[in-house]
Structure 1
Amino acid sequence: KDLKYLHDVEREVGNDKCNITFAIPQCEYDGGDCCPYEIHLSPSFGDGKCDGGVYNTAGCLHDNEDCKAFNDLYRNCPNEALVGTTNVRLGNGICEGGGYDIEECGYEFGDCDQAQIGQDILLYGVQSTSSEIIDFNMLMSSDGSTIIVDMYRTDKFGDYDQVPN
């Protein structure tokens, strides 16, 4: 018999290399090598809502199939390259900004359509654009009725200092 297709599961699972064959719940996503424990044990994993970043990778079964509709629609979205993106929920109506706010990803699955917070913001005469990252501190009340936008590195007059002190 041809034994070259057999795997030594004990040797391969949890060896710090993702073997997509073992990226299944029964093997704990290759012992955390394909989908880290903090992801696949998170309440957000497989909760019916598509989360970006590491969640939406082949190793994490694209958020345990939650991202199927997104991935079917945006096949050219570079999901594997966006693993560093955090706290992005795709298609929830909130533009979190970041790597998914590009045409290939449907501008964050429609979340970053025009007039959504997270796109270009004009504050104290300084504009935030996709090509020029400016740190804004944004807070929103739990009911969404109040939004506070503040900008780091501004003096008491609201003048922006592009060079940190």
Structure 2
Amino acid sequence: MMKTSSNRWLGLLGATIIMWSSVSSVVATTSDQFDACEAAQDIGNGRCDLGNDIEECGFDGGDCCECTCEDGEYTCGQYYGYACIDPDAACVDDDAVTVDMMENCYDPSRIGNGVCDSLLNNEECAYDGGDCCECTCDPSRYPWYDSGVGCQTGMYGGFACIDPDAPCVDDDIVTAEMMDLCSTGQIGNGYCDDSNNSPECAYDGGDCCECTCESHDDGYEYYCEPGSFACIDPEAECVDDDDNTAEQYEHCGWVTRIGDGMCDDENNKEECGFDGGDCCDCTCVVSASAWSDYACQEVYNINSFDCLDTSASCYGDEDLTPGVGSMSYELSFFWDDYQ
């Protein structure tokens, strides 16, 4: 009995020694990679990790080249792009990414993915691999190619062609000078962006005037929506069709929200026309705006009115619930009612 028990303990001890030796061996063989690679545990998982895309990490185990990537935890190319710089890969020249780009561009795996990234739209990053010009963008490189989203203007962005070698470089109004001043991917996308509504940004490519806005058929319903404009372009024929002025951009929080039927704190002052009347029950007008479903009524337990306009006939009539006021851009909803 004692002998059998001893043999059993010896067997367990031997197995433990073998297991410990195996673990020690694994640690020893991978310690160099854990020191050199940004995420050694992700090598060969089917997703290109730029921190591993170096020789010491086996170029992320092949994940960063389309011809060497093998599906693992992720499906190759489905959600992330490639950045092939492995000199031994047969497809090393198939994309625009170079070793220099790995050092100079903020995310080389996004180069040539079918979406214009303004931070990559420069000569050092090959003008985002052609993504920012309609005539050079390749929609098949978009990760969700079957969705039909890549290489188009609309909800997911647009073009900003400044590549001097692109045949269509003059087809849009974006210039190299705009890159530092504007959100160029949103210019001319059919939605008025306050930050672009200036002469330096070509008045958002016409998006902020109803008569110059061009809609895009990408399933997003709010493009060129009546009530969502702030027309201050002096060259637009409809510049006088709304009450918005260039001066409002100096004093108001979100000009395109003035008069949309929802009281906004930052616009609720005289310089902004008390949010175009939105903050008083008797002056609020339900318009055909993007917020029309909630206009001139209580939304998410937020009282839509906070009447500060002394000229309004209902001034002083509102009895605001303590702690509940007009809409703020922080959208501080009261979730306790929904828990």
TM over 0.5: no
Largest Rg, 1 or 2: 2
Q: Which has the higher contact order (CA 8 A, sep 6+)?
A: 1
Band the TM-score falls in, shorter-chain normalisation: 0.3 to 0.5
Q: Could you state the TM-score of these two structures normalised by the residue count of structure 1?
A: 0.41
Q: Which has the higher helix share?
A: 2
Q: Could you state the TM-score of these two structures normalised by the residue count of structure 2?
A: 0.25
